[in-house]
Amino acid sequence: MSNLVLNSELLNRLVDGTESSKDEAYQIYQDAEKDPTELYKVAQFLRNKNKGRIVTYSRKVFFNLINLCRDTCSYCTYKSEPGQTKISMMSKHDIQNLIALGKKYKCTEALFVTGERPEQKYQEARTWLKQNGFVSTAEYLIHASEMVLAAGLFPHTNAGNLTKAEMKELKNTNASLGLMLENSSERLSEKGMPHEFAPSKNPKARIKVLENAGELRIPITTGLLIGIGESPFELIDSLYTVKDIHKKFGHIQEVILQNFQPKPDTAMKKMHSPHEKYFKTLVALTRIIMPEMNIQIPPNLSPISYSDFLAVGINDWGGISPITPDYVNPEFPWPSIEALNKNCANAGFEPRTRFPVYPEFLSFVNSDLKSKMMEMADFDGLVRGEHLK
C-alpha cells in the first residue's frame, strides 16, 4: 500500500494500480498545468515501484555510417548534403578503426545511425555503396553489424523505416533496433510543418515499422520529439499509440522523450526549445500512462537537471559515448560517465551499465547473440563491472 494521499482522485486510482484512459490523461495534464506537484509525486512512486532505484545507461560508440538522407526535416542538423564538411560515409576500414577505439574504451554498444535510404536520392551514396561492395544502405548495415559483433560489440541500429525483410536480417546480429515515432499526428506532415518534406516521418509508415518489429519479436526503442509544434494532446495521443502497439506485441523496450533544441542551420532555428516544466510534465505523464516502461531522456540535452528528471519517473539515460559525439545534437556533448555516475549517486540512485537490449527483453534475442551477451552479463542481465575496467 502507498502512503501517498492526493487531492486528485484520478491520481489516487493510478497509485492503487488502475490504468489511466486517454481522456483521464488529458485531464491529468490540464490539472498539472496549474500545479504539477501531485503528478510528479505519482510518477516518482510508479518508477520506484516498477524500476526501483537503479538507473541504467549503455556505454556506446556511435557509428555515423552515412548522413546523406532522402528526407528533409525542418529541425534536423544531422543530415548532410554532398560537399559539406560534416558529411560521413564510413568505409569498412573506418568501421574497423572505430571498433578498435570502442574496444579500447570498454564500450559494449555499437550504435549504427544512417540517413533515410540516401541511395534513393544521391549518386554519391550509390557510388559509396558500390565502392564498399553493396547496393543498399541496409545491406551495408547488415555487414557492418556482423563486423562489430565479431569484435565483441553489440549492435543497435537506427536507420529509419527499414522493411520487414531488412529487420529480419538485422535481427541475426542486432540486440535491438530503434525508430523514433516522434509523433502520431499527421498534422505535423502538412504544409509548413516540420515533416512536410520528410515522407518517412509519416506516422502510418512509422507505426507499420514498429508493428513489423513486433511480429518479428525484435526489441525496439521508440520515442517522441517534444517541442516541434505539436499540442500536448497530440503527445498524449502518441503515447497511447505506442502503448497500444506494445500491448499487442510486448516488444517496445524503451520510450525516449527528446526535447527539441533549435539548430542554427535549420528552418526551425528561431523556435524555442520546450519549457522545462512542460517537458517534465510530459515525462511524468509518460510514466503514469506506461508505468512499467523503461523511460529515457538524453542527458546531454538537459545537462543541469539530472535529479529533476529522476524525480519525475525516468529510469534510463540511453547510450553515452566516451569517444564519439552525439552526431544528432553535436552542440551538446555527452556528460562524462564518471560525472553521470556521480550525479545519479548524489540523487540517491544506483547507476548501472546495460546492453543495447534491456534484461527483460533478452528472451527476444536470438540464442547466439544472447549467449555472447551472457558471457559478459551479471545475474541481473546487466554488464558485469569487470568488463568496464
Q: How confident is the model at residue 385 (pLDDT cuts 50, 70, 90)?
A: confident
Q: Cβ contacts of residue 203 below 8 Å, gap of 6+? A: 181, 183, 184, 185, 186, 189, 241
Q: How confident is the model at residue 244 (pLDDT cuts 50, 70, 90)?
A: very high
pLDDT given at position 354: 97
Least confident of 58-67, 122-131, 378-387: 378-387
pLDDT tens digits, one per residue of 226-239: 999 999 999 999 99
Q: Is the pLDDT of residue 304 over 80?
A: no
Q: How confident is the model at residue 2 (pLDDT cuts 50, 70, 90)?
A: low
Q: Interior CA angle at 110 toward 105 and 116, to 5°?
A: 140
Q: Where are the domains of the chain?
A: 46-388
pLDDT given at position 365: 96
Q: Is the pLDDT of residue 1 over 50?
A: no
Q: Which fold has domain 46-388?
A: TIM Barrel (3.20.20)
| Alpha helices for the chain (secondary structure H) | 9-15, 22-34, 37-51, 92-104, 123-132, 137-150, 164-170, 203-215, 232-249, 276-289, 306-310, 337-346, 367-374
pLDDT tens digits, one per residue of 38-86: 999 999 999 999 999 999 999 999 999 999 999 888 888 889 999 999 9
Q: How confident is the model at residue 273 (pLDDT cuts 50, 70, 90)?
A: confident
Least confident of 198-202, 203-207, 245-249: 198-202
Q: What is the mean pLDDT of residues 9-38?
A: 95
pLDDT tens digits, one per residue of 320-363: 999 998 988 888 889 999 999 999 999 999 999 999 999 999 99
CA distances from 52 to 140, 161, 183, 313, 361 (A): 40, 34, 29, 11, 18
Q: Is the pLDDT of residue 107 over 50?
A: yes
Q: How confident is the model at residue 293 (pLDDT cuts 50, 70, 90)?
A: very high
Q: What is the mean pLDDT of residues 251-259?
A: 96
Q: Residue 346, class by beta-carbon neighbours within 10 Å (0-12 exposed, 13-18 middle, 19+ buried)? A: exposed
For the entire predicted model, the pTM comes to 0.95
Across the chain, what does the average pLDDT equal? 93
DSSP-based three-state secondary structure for 345: helix
